[in-house]
Amino acid sequence: MDSLVENKIKNDLNNKIIIITGASSGLGFQIAKSLSNYNSKIILCSRNIGKIKSKFSLKSNVILKKVDVQKPKEIKKFINFVLKKYKRIDILINNAGIAKNVVIEKVDYKLINNVFKTNLFSAFLFVKYCIPVMKKNNFGRIVNISSGGSINCAPGYSLYSASKAGLNTLAKSASNELTNFNIKINTLSPGPIKTPMFPKNKLSAKLCIPTLKYLCTLKKNGPTGKFFWFMRQVKIIPSINLNWGNPPNND
Ligand SMILES: NC(=O)c1ccc[n+]([C@@H]2O[C@H](COP(=O)([O-])OP(=O)(O)OC[C@H]3O[C@@H](n4cnc5c(N)ncnc54)[C@H](OP(=O)(O)O)[C@@H]3O)[C@@H](O)[C@H]2O)c1
């Protein structure tokens, strides 16, 4: 990577508090490994997070926490832990996810819950809990790991595609609510990468890292509510310039 770009990233990630969900394998692990090389605090979570303990044993800036993102109480407890310890959350990467290949007539309510709780509801809760502290500090960078599935809608993946499409519109809606703040929320589709989720894919998860770093270090006037695929911004939601007015005050 260009040394000027790398220097900017190093500066921008200096002393940041970063949460990564689903960090125990695949892309989340790759992101964790990459961001742990900067002078920021990285808090990683997933159910089987213990399995990567040895990988970070020499990194004093990395904390691992066991969290099942299907359980709202565990998410809240985790966020409270981070806020108590660091008082801030600067960057949130909503990466935890599962994929199920099943035709629509075989989908049952348990499976719908399983996929949506993991891929979408958890991201809603993480965003919900991070936004107040990000607003207070007038700083936040949020990246939802979505999928090409949210737009290509492959057969057998209706549940996965619908849950990932929800991440795209979550980012878009939240970005419309946050226009008065220096908080950017975007989605990143990693492309077909080889991980335990899709072991037959060919590409390395490392290919997503430059875009991920870019989205974590966006300038104040950088994009928000957008969908990225590798290094490209892809327009998946048309710009409809309605005057929404202010979001409701639900205090
Ligand atoms: N691989 C691809 O080609 C591809 C393409 C498009 C999008 N994606 C997206 O990229 C993200 C990462 O996937 P991956 O390919 O790296 O797959 P992966 O290796 O299977 O990783 C999934 C991660 O999610 C975590 N997770 C799953 N259920 C969880 C739960 N209930 N609570 C907490 N953590 C949970 C897993 O950790 P534990 O099991 O330890 O809980 C694991 O760390 C996913 O959102 C996926 O949809 C992947």
Q: What is the pLDDT of residues 41-56, one digit of tens each?
A: 999 999 999 999 999 9
Q: pLDDT value at position 239?
A: 79
Q: pLDDT value at position 1?
A: 64
Mean pLDDT of 3-29: 96
141, HSE (Cβ side, Cα atoms, 13 Å): 21
Q: Is 86 a catalytic residue?
A: no
Best of 31, 33, 74, 98 for a ligand 1 pocket test (most atoms within 8 Å of beta carbon): 98
How far is the centre of ligand 1, averaged over its atoms, from the C-alpha of 132 (Å)? 26
Our answer on whether the CB atom of 195 is closer than 6 Å to any ligand 1 atom is: yes
Mean pLDDT of 80-100: 98
Mean pLDDT of 221-233: 94
Lowest mean pLDDT among 113-117, 119-123, 220-224, 238-242: 238-242
Average pLDDT along the chain: 96
Q: pLDDT value at position 215?
A: 98
Q: Is residue 244 part of a domain?
A: no
Q: pLDDT value at position 230?
A: 79
78 lies in which domain range?
A: 3-234
Q: Is residue 156 part of a domain?
A: yes
Among residues 38, 129, 157, 160, the one annotated as catalytic is 160
Q: Is residue 107 part of a domain?
A: yes
Q: pLDDT value at position 157?
A: 97
pLDDT band per the 50, 70, 90 thresholds, residue 243: confident
β-partners of residue 42 are 18, 62
Helix H or strand E segment including 33: helix 26-35
Report the relative pairing of strands 17-21 and 227-229 from DSSP bridges: unpaired
Mean pLDDT of 153-165: 97
Q: Is residue 249 part of a domain?
A: no
Q: Is residue 240 part of a domain?
A: no
CATH number reported for the structural domain that contains residue 163 in this entry: 3.40.50.720
User: How far apart, in whole angstroms, are the C-alpha atoms of residue 175 and residue 198?
Assistant: 30
Our answer on whether the CB atom of 245 is closer than 6 Å to any ligand 1 atom is: no
Q: Is residue 19 part of a domain?
A: yes
- Inter-axis angle of helices 109-116 and 158-177, to 10 degrees? 40
Mean pLDDT of 178-197: 97
Our answer on whether the CB atom of 61 is closer than 6 Å to any ligand 1 atom is: no
**pLDDT > 90 fraction of the chain, expressed in percent and rounded:** 92
Q: Is residue 165 part of a domain?
A: yes
Q: pLDDT value at position 223?
A: 97
Q: Could you give the number of structural domains in the chain?
A: 1
Q: Is residue 242 part of a domain?
A: no
User: How far apart, in whole angstroms, are the C-alpha atoms of residue 158 and residue 161?
Assistant: 5
Q: pLDDT value at position 247?
A: 76
What would the pLDDT profile of 194-215 be if each residue is shown by its tens digit?
A: 999 999 999 999 999 999 999 9
How is residue 109 written in tokens?
Answer: 């309510």
pLDDT band per the 50, 70, 90 thresholds, residue 249: confident
* Gap between the terminal Cα atoms of the chain: 45
Q: pLDDT value at position 91?
A: 99
User: How far apart, in whole angstroms, are the C-alpha atoms of residue 198 and residue 224?
Assistant: 28
